Amino acid sequence: MLYLHRLLLFSFCWIPFSSSGEESPLYRSEALEIYPVSEGVYRHVSFLQTKEFGKVPCNGLVVVDGGEALILDTPTDDTASLELIDFVERNLNAQIRKVVPTHFHVDCLGGLTAFHERSIPSTASKMTIGLARLSGKELPQEAFEEKTCVEVGAVEVIVAFAGAGHTKDNVVAFVPLRNVLFGGCLVKSMDAAKGNLADADLEAWPKSIDTVRRMFPDVEVVVPGHGLPGGAELLEYTKTLFTEVE
């Protein structure tokens, strides 16, 4: 039965999203949704209620291999984070090795306390930790400078700083074996607006996208911080969006 369950999960993974933009969730509740992206890679979606943009769906990533898992960005709060932890452990039969917030905003580390209470270690860039401290948020436990590599089973995940954009600390993550890029809030979904610019560096943003392209030229699937995944065209769209003259 366990073999059949895994086979069904992986059968979804070969088609990350349909041409119509519709997806079938592996899990859905009021607080959390989980969608397949590629083999052993899943997008988790939680929700943030904002004054300016209303209820905003926020993406993170789960990478699973060999009974181990890595979480990129926590859900927005502890309730959704606990749901995600339980799903990974019970449904994907994996132990979470680490959680990595990709910048200091609440949609990246709002549920960090839940991970710490479950004894799951966290890592973030020194810049993210510093900004989280200034904001009075729960702090990631370990720090890296501009790049770190995390092994999940036999799969390597590269987390790297490519330059400022949505925030001055935003990092991206690449899964070379699957050619999947988690762009986080540095990358916009197709036809998205510019969004929250409170901590943005608009001048640096297009240059940072170019750096991402140079660093990871083999990208096939791109998961943005908000909205539907796509291909490398999301990088071009994001660059164009922030190159436009107001």
**Backbone φ, ψ for residue 54 (5° rounding):** 75, -145
Alpha helices (runs of H) in 142-243, residue ranges in sequence order: 205-215, 233-243
CA distances from 28 to 19, 45, 190 (A): 21, 9, 23
Over residues 177-197, the mean pLDDT reads 97
* Domain-embedded: residue 36: yes
pLDDT, greater one: 50 or 61: 61
* Domain-embedded: residue 79: yes
* Domain-embedded: residue 183: yes
- In angstroms, the CA 72 to CA 138 distance is 16
Q: Match 């997806």 to its residue by tokens.
A: 23
CA distances from 142 to 109, 148, 157 (A): 14, 11, 17
CA distances from 158 to 31, 43, 118 (A): 28, 17, 24
What's the structural domain count of the chain?
1
User: 22 pLDDT band (50/70/90 cuts)?
Assistant: low
* Domain-embedded: residue 231: yes
* Domain-embedded: residue 184: yes
**Structural contact between residues 172 and 160, judged by C-beta atoms closer than 8 angstroms:** yes
CA atoms within 13 A on the CB side of 215: 22
User: 64 pLDDT band (50/70/90 cuts)?
Assistant: very high
**Structural contact between residues 33 and 25, judged by C-beta atoms closer than 8 angstroms:** yes
Over residues 136-143, the mean pLDDT reads 97
pLDDT at 12 over 60: no
* Domain-embedded: residue 218: yes
- In angstroms, the CA 46 to CA 110 distance is 10
* pLDDT tens string 105-129: 999 999 999 999 999 999 999 999 9
* Domain-embedded: residue 212: yes
Kindly list the catalytic residues. 103, 105, 107, 166, 185, 188, 196, 226
Q: Which of 7-11, 148-152, 227-231 has the lowest mean pLDDT?
A: 7-11
- In angstroms, the CA 153 to CA 104 distance is 27
Supply the range of the domain harboring residue 182.
Answer: 2-7+23-243
* Domain-embedded: residue 16: no
Report the pLDDT value the prediction gives residue 45, as an integer from 0 to 100: 98
Q: Which residues does 112 contact at the CB level (< 8 Å), separation at least 6? A: 74, 81, 99, 101, 122, 137, 138, 139, 140
Biggest alpha carbon distance in the chain?
A: 57
Record the pTM.
0.90
Q: Match 């904001």 to its residue by tokens.
A: 135
CATH number assigned to the domain comprising residue 129: 3.60.15.10
Beta bridge partners of 33: 28, 45
